[in-house]
Structure 1
Amino acid sequence: MSWFSCIGKSHKKSKEKPEKRKEESSLSEKLKLKPLLDMKKEILKDGADHISAQTFAFRELAVATKNFRNDCLLGEGGFGRVYKGRLESTNQIVAIKQLDRNGLQGNREFLVEVLMLSLLHHPNLVNLIGYCADGDQRLLVYEYMPLGSLEDHLHDLPPDKKRLDWNARMKIAAGAAKGLEYLHDKANPPVIYRDLKCSNILLGEGYHPKLSDFGLAKLGPVGDKTHVSTRVMGTYGYCAPEYAMTGQLTLKSDVYSFGVVLLEIITGRKAIDNSKGVGEHNLVAWARPLFKDRRKFQQMADPMLQGQYPTRGLYQALAVASMCVQEQPTMRPLVADVVTALTYLAAQKYDPDSQPVQSFHLAPATPPRTRNRTAGLRKAKVED
């Protein structure tokens, strides 16, 4: 089911103001896509009155990025390149994402992103400032997140880069979970993010996390429906197994992806790492047998932490991760329960000067796959 069939057309006469209808129609015409009616009503009952994002001329954004110079380049993803820029009109520093016209994502994903981030607002979702749809140019303008992505702080770090400590990791995990909770529980109908991964969690000052990149987001099932069916999209290593096999997407698909991210935060390992030994390429497959033996939990902690973490906090965080990556979606927790557990963990500040430093090792290679295990999430305990 596509975004458009989820929203559908309204057969009732619109009561919206003419200028609002004109604004939405203008966006749809620019993108050469059919108009979307009653967006506020369908996507978020208490959302914005209209598409709040500004429109920019391509020239403005070219000036802001010094004509997209390489020294302004922040990174590159499935959508295209992201540049740091300064808006001439407001002197504001922004991040400008330019659609790669030959890339994997196109007009539909661009429109979804504009609509989602114009109508959904939360402290843990990145703020969309505006967009450009001049001719065949497609650009998105976001608030600038000075600390980059979570991936930048976990993987392939240069020797001089500061490693994330335990407190920062739990703060990031709890904040990302709150952003996901907003999409699942506050949006109506719920929104399935579908592309949760470390590179899509951006960090502001003080390691404040925000979810970004909503081009693959889908409206979730409503009423008696249990799932939405769609082509499989996302990133290998983060996709829930049932979604990858059947294309059936649920809120629990996002919970699985979050569990993979939480494992990355705890272990410092990548979701997929072909440089590892046999049996350790896939993070979840490597971790599952270790979840069974709490004597091995400390071997799962990121060596970069150098033992500076609370033993109890580590065990509880691993308990949350293990339940999120259960193979059966019905065995995974609701994201609200994940938020409860991680908010508690984030509030338990670890002080290496007053608390013991743990011994740390590298974990062993992966034994054969083992059966699933269930546990109560609110207490975040793992069976011995």
Structure 2
Amino acid sequence: MEGISQSISKLLRLSGKGRSDEKKQNYSSDLPEGLCRRFSLGEIKKATNDFADDLLIGEGAVGKVYKGFIDDQGISVAIKRLKYSSSEGVGELTNEVVLLCQIRHPNLIPLIGYCIDKSERCLVYGFMVNGNPRQHIFICGTDHDPLPWKQRLAICIGVARGLHYLHTGLKHTIIHRDVKMDNILLDEKWEAKLADFGLSKMGPPSLSKALIRLESGVKGTLGYLDPDYARRQEVTDKTDVYSFGVLLFELLCGRSVLDVKLEKERVDLVSWARRCKREGTLNEIIDPYLMGKIAPECFKIYVDIASSCVRDKGKDRPAMGEVEVGLEHSLQLQERADAAREEGEYDYPIDELTCNDSPMEMNRYGRGASPSTVGNPFWDSDSTELSDLSQTAN
């Protein structure tokens, strides 16, 4: 991983030289040989039918994403075409190429290759046929229902596993820095893949405290931005934990993290969820489609995990390994309750979906006891409001 760190540093220095130097620099020559496939511009144009509009599947701040087909086998790929004028885009490309070509995990987006040819900068990924969870939760037509609860839980667990691997599974910690709904993609088996490593940072050895002091401004997505990171301009693995907690609430509530069309107290999903948790009225914010479908014991653990992830101070949040284990336990409780329900032994009363700041009880049929408040990293006794996140993220 020392080689990866050196490559990133060198490439990001090059990307900051500006457009006037771009013609003098050959960025691709500075990428370690054999990392992944380098595509020619001709291959990229052939794959996308010369960037045809009917193959456009997404657009972001630094470029557009096209569906494409490579090689004679017609393998489906997603091709991110970076904007020529974006120096940040060049930095993101080098970041992703050097990182993703050397790490592999079932819950990280697979990078197939890249293209650096004159003014063109492209990244080539495996195509995720089911898109991101947003289109299956927030934008559902009459032809299909929103994602069921257990599938949402499975998505959360997949993302948690990917983040846990980045934080502790490598010689050096990798901090994603932009965990959000739009950066989660779903393959043909609905397996979650964490995507977009353009803002990722490499930290110290994973066994040490992962803290990186940033010289540049705070970057991230409004609503998901860690308030501790915004204040201190220090990014740690707990920065990802906060953003992941926001994602947990989105998947539970079936709404965006910020919705300015709602009344003032409900605009910020996280602040509203924390308030409802304290008042024992969380049933008010659950996605209506999920009402009567979540086992109370599963719900309590899930909400405690989400609440612990969005604690105001990073040091008070759990590690991703703890989060992963807690979510897996939550899914086990849901599966047990579903089995009991099918046998006619159990039902999910809506009025029991409350989870205020009090110790969790044993579940009603004595299997898989909920954790106690003693030594429980998810116990949230902090009733302090979140800091105002209205400041603009770069």
- Please report the TM-score for the alignment, with normalisation by the length of structure 2: 0.78
Give the letter for the 1:31 counterpart: Y
CA deviation map 1:33-82 (0-9, x unaligned): 9x47xx8xxxxxxxxxx643101111111111112112211111233111
CA distance in 2, matches of 1:138, 1:376: 52
Give the structure 1 partner of residue 129 of structure 2.
146
AA aligned to 1:30 is N
The one of 231, 234, 238 equivalent to 1:252 is: 238
The Cα shift of 1:376 comes to: 6.0
Per the TM alignment, residue 199 of structure 1 is displaced from its structure 2 partner at its CA by 0.4
Within a 5 Å distance, the mapping from 1:269-308 to structure 2 comes to 269-293=255-279, 295-308=280-293
Distance 2:106 2:199 in 1: 20
Q: Equivalent residue for 2:347?
A: 356
Deviations 1:158-196 (A, max 9, x none): 343331101101000000000000100012210010000
Q: 2:298 aligns with which of 301, 304, 313?
A: 313
1: CA distance, partners of 2:130 / 2:351: 28
Conserved 8 A contact 1:267-1:302: yes
- For residue 98 of structure 2, the aligned residue among 115, 119, 135 is 115
Q: CA separation of 1:6/1:82 partners in 2, compared to 1, >3 Å: closer, same or farther?
A: closer
Letter in 2 for 1:113: E
Residues 298, 331 of structure 2: 8 Å contact kept? no
2:310 aligns with 325
Q: Which runs of 5+ in 1 are unaligned?
A: 10-27, 40-49, 364-373
Of 211, 222, 229 in structure 2, the residue corresponding to residue 236 of structure 1 is 222
Aligned to 1:30: 26
> How far apart in 2 are the matches of 1:308 and 1:135?
54
Change (3 A) 1:142 1:109: same
Distance, in Å, in 1 between the alignment partners of 2:149 and 2:226 is 27
Deviation at 1:213, TM superposition (A): 0.4
SS in 2 for 1:119: coil
* Residue type at the aligned position of 2:294: Y
Q: 1:121/1:329 Cα in 2 relative to 1: closer, same or farther (>3 Å)?
A: same
What is the aligned-residue RMSD (CA, Å)?
A: 3.0
Aligned match for 2:81, one of 74, 91, 98: 98
Map Cα deviations across residues 263-319 of structure 1 (whole Å, 9 max, x no partner).
1011112111111111111111111122224x4232232112242111111111000
In terms of mean alpha carbon deviation, does 217-226 or 204-213 score higher?
Answer: 217-226
Q: What amino acid does structure 2 have at the position aligned with 1:310?
A: A
Structure 1 residue 343 and structure 2 residue 328: aligned?
yes
Q: Does 1:83 align with 2:69?
A: no
How many residue pairs get aligned? The number is 340
Q: Is residue 78–residue 103 contact of structure 1 (8 Å, CA) maintained in 2?
A: no
CA separation of 1:316 and 1:108: change in aligned 2, threshold 3 A: same
Indicate if the aligned counterparts of 2:318 and 2:377 stay in contact, CA closer than 8 A: no
Q: Which moved more, 1:282-291 or 1:354-363?
A: 354-363
Q: Which residue matches 2:159?
A: 176
C-alpha displacement of 1:342: 0.9
3-state SS, counterpart of residue 98 of structure 2: helix
Q: Distance in 1 between matches of 2:61 and 2:352?
A: 36
One-letter amino acid matched to 2:347: P
Unaligned 5+ runs, structure 2 = 11-23, 355-371, 384-394
User: What's the counterpart of residue 21 of structure 2?
Assistant: none
Distance (Å, rounded) in 2 between the aligned partners of 1:170 and 1:224: 29
Q: Residues 240 and 51 from structure 1, CA distance in 2 versus in 1: closer, same or farther, beyond 3 angstroms? A: farther
Q: Does the 8 Å CA contact 2:173/2:210 hold for their aligned counterparts? A: no
User: Which shows bigger deviation, 89-98 or 248-257?
Assistant: 89-98
SS in 2 for 1:131: strand
1:128 aligns with 2:111: yes
Letter in 1 for 2:297: R
